A and B are shown apart, each in its own frame.
Chain A
Amino acid sequence: MKKLLALFLAGAMMLSLAACGGDDTKETEAAKVTAADTKAAETKAADTKADETKGAGEEKPAGNGETYKIGLAAMLTGDNALNGERMQKASEMVIAQYNEAAGYEKFVLNTEDDLTTNEGALTAVQKLISDGCLAIIGPHRSSAALAVSDTVAEQQVCVLVGGTSVAIDGSNNYMFRTRASDAIMATVAATFCKDTLEAKKVGILHASDEYGQGGADAAMAFFDAQGIEYVDCPHNVNDVDFTSAILECQSAGCDTVFTWTHDAETAIIYQQLATYMPEVNKIASPGLTLDNVLNLCEDNWVDGAYSVTDFISTSTDTVAVDFVKAYEGLYGETPDLYAAAYYGAAVTICEAILACEEAGEVTPQAVRDAIAAGETKTLPTGDFYNDDANNLVHSCVIAKLNGKAPEFVQSVSE
């Protein structure tokens, strides 16, 4: 019995020693492997580069060749799934169009859910990069975009984000913005308040998250510079009662109400404005032109209100009209500004890949460079070209609601 025990003990000791020893060697090995890994990765990347170039060069004349993966990281589950759905539909539509033109499945869309969290966004984007996507559409939210910012720069795969926050400052060369920034849109809205609505005192109702705060900050900076008085009324996301904010604006004697917030909140604010301040001038963030918001409103709540937005489906611009027609034909519903914005993003990526193919080198880096250097394209949300701050879109639209129908008032470029 004792012998057995001794044997066990010795065995256990040896094992633990082996485990410890294993630790050390493995740790150092790991360090080595890391170095080797990056090298391997580099050579691998070079290989695929060579492959792809070869493929593109050889097979193109035959009319059948490489397939290219494009990633989409979107909010497909959770509370903002509608947004993700529109992103997905618009991207799929573009891919289908380009595949039809190529005559085969040239482009493949890999879609991943970002769970509406920052970790989820990083995981989704990393999965898309690891799966070999050349460029990625999304994530949509600004904080998610910021969360993936370092990663995409490190791995040199570009993302086309819809985050409009001013915190996305263009310092990352692998992050392009496909919507006009909050600062631009909110300043346009504020300018409109001053010039057209002739506001003397403005009530600013905005969400306290990065979206609402970014817009409100820009507007307040403008009003400060112009000497226009304003009342700052922030609210938390998912708030459902804005009575106190509206009463504050009312008692301060505001003649204009400027709202910069999310869809559900916008609808409730407009409902409560109709009750307490029916005569006030109103201008809102892009959300007000969305069907998702207008479906929650009565005609008279929103009638006469203005909105600064990326895109309205009633636009008479030929590119926009074609886009709306194609989208309606495919899905039986009217595209909203998200669909339009990400349609533009998908087209930009496909064009960039085609340009790379032409030049004989299709790598994520080449695609990024092609997007950065791409020619100006006219898309539903305006002219797409890259500027110093990696913004692709430079204009927005002011719409006036006639009943619930958004009507084009003017287009404003940077």
Chain B
Amino acid sequence: MSTMVFQLLITGIAYGMIYSLVGIEYTLIWNSSGLLNFSHDKLITLGAYIFGGSMIIKMNLDNPIAIVLTLAIMGVVGALLAAGIFNRLYSMRSNIFAIIGTVVLAKIISEFIRLFWGSGNMRVSGWLDKTYFIGGFAITSANIVIIIVAILLVAVLEVFFKFTKTGKAMRCVEQNKKAAALMGININRSICITTALSAMICAVIGFLVIPLVNISATMATTIGLKGFCSGVIGGFGYIPGAIAGGIFIGVVENLATIFIPAVYKDAVSFLLLIVFLLIKPTGFLGKRAQGR
């Protein structure tokens, strides 16, 4: 029993970290532009396809080169999306346009993926697929890497926002667009950078989940929705909240399977989402409760 609990705990933390990263990735865009990016799960999928489908399987590149190239491509994709689409959507009169705009964008990306890479599933052989046994517990290298990368990424972001000029400007935009504009900060440019950053994080999530879920059109659907839950539960629009919420959901839904049938595992996350929205919409770390 205790073995099982421990094993579920590890899986829960690893998945929780993934949810956290998803939470961070869309919170960045939300904070900079007030746009809830519903195409984020397809951006994760796109990153995974570029990395696995093209760089590794087709072009046979070395892993580090493939990672750097994919990150660069996804960054450019993000910047282009922001410049061409998000900047336009966020200035529309209702956030309904922004949401549905990104939903349709997701459809376009997923049809593009089908037409470009075909409809079969893919796997990157030898990518983070080792398993270590420590005293009877199985720990996969994917889980270890996920936890390490997630922590590193959060630290890097923290440094970026605190100590670089661009990062500081982005935080200004997040707090008050008008004031930021008056201070001479280019808001559109800031949104471009954030979206590029967010798309790159999506690519990282893509790399990390490949060994867990393989590459397929639906690989990120559930992860994407759970990412939204993590944001709400931890505190919407607040990065530490997204991290805490993600880990919380990951652990709770995994441990819950000890008591309830596993088919209701997803329902646990969504019920938690609803309960938090009704009782504490600010989330447990939330500072602000403004919905746009």
Q: List chain A positions with a Cβ less than 8 A from chain B.
A: 77-82, 85, 208, 233-236, 238-245, 247-248, 251, 263-264, 267-268, 271, 274-276, 291-293, 295-298
Contact = CB atoms under 8 A, between A and B. Distances in A.
B1 interface: yes
A273 to B, nearest CB: 11
B263 A264 contact: no
B121 A267 contact: yes
Using C-beta atoms within 8 Å of the partner chain, give the interface range for chain B: 35 or more
Given A238-B222, A296-B123, A244 B140 contact: no
A240 B120 contact: no
A44 B118 CA distance: 43
B222 A244 contact: no
Contacts of B209: 240
Contacts of A267: 121, 123, 214
Contacts of B254: 241, 243-244
Given A241-B15, A296-B121, A296-B122, A233 B129 contact: no
B186 interface: no
A240 B119 contact: no
Given A235-B262, A236-B266, A296-B122, A276 B138 contact: yes
B237 to A, nearest CB: 27
A240 B122 contact: no
B131 A275 contact: yes
B212 interface: yes
Contacts of B4: 247-248, 251
A247 B1 CA distance: 10
A268 B262 contact: no
A120 to B, nearest CB: 15
B221 A244 contact: no
A249 to B, nearest CB: 11
Contacts of B60: none
B1 A296 contact: no
B218 interface: yes
A264 B214 contact: yes
B125 interface: yes
Nearest to B114: A81
A259 to B, nearest CB: 14
Given A236-B263, A240-B209, A295-B120, 5 more contacts: A234-B263, A238-B218, A248-B262, A251-B3, A293-B121
A245 B262 contact: yes
A286 to B, nearest CB: 16
Given A81-B119, A234-B263, A243 B216 contact: no
Nearest to B217: A79
Interface in B179-228: 209, 212-214, 216-219, 221-223
Contacts of B8: 243-244, 247
B23 to A, nearest CB: 18
Nearest to A84: B119
Nearest to B221: A238
6 contacts: A79-B119, A81-B114, A248-B257, A296-B122, A296-B123, A297-B123
B111 interface: yes
Contacts of A244: 8, 11, 254, 257-258, 262, 265
A263 B111 CA distance: 20
A264 B122 CA distance: 10
B125 A292 contact: no
Nearest to A207: B263
A291 B212 CA distance: 19
Ordered nearest first, which 7 A-B pairs have the shortest CB separation? A81-B119, A244-B257, A82-B119, A240-B213, A296-B123, A243-B11, A79-B217
A233 B262 contact: yes
Nearest to A240: B213
Contact of B261 (A81, A234, A241, A292): A234
B212 to A, nearest CB: 6
A169 B138 CA distance: 44
A235 B1 CA distance: 21
Nearest to B223: A240
B87 interface: no
A240 B212 contact: yes
B7 interface: yes
A298 B125 contact: yes
B263 A235 contact: yes
Contacts of B219: 240, 264
Contacts of B214: 264, 267-268, 296
A254 to B, nearest CB: 14
A243 B121 contact: no
A85 B119 contact: yes
B123 to A, nearest CB: 4
Given A244-B8, A244-B257, A208 B263 contact: yes
A235 to B, nearest CB: 6
Interface centre among A81, A244, A268 (most CB of B within 10 A): A244
Nearest to A297: B123
Contact of A298 (B1, B7, B129, B223): B129
Contacts of A271: 129
B177 to A, nearest CB: 38
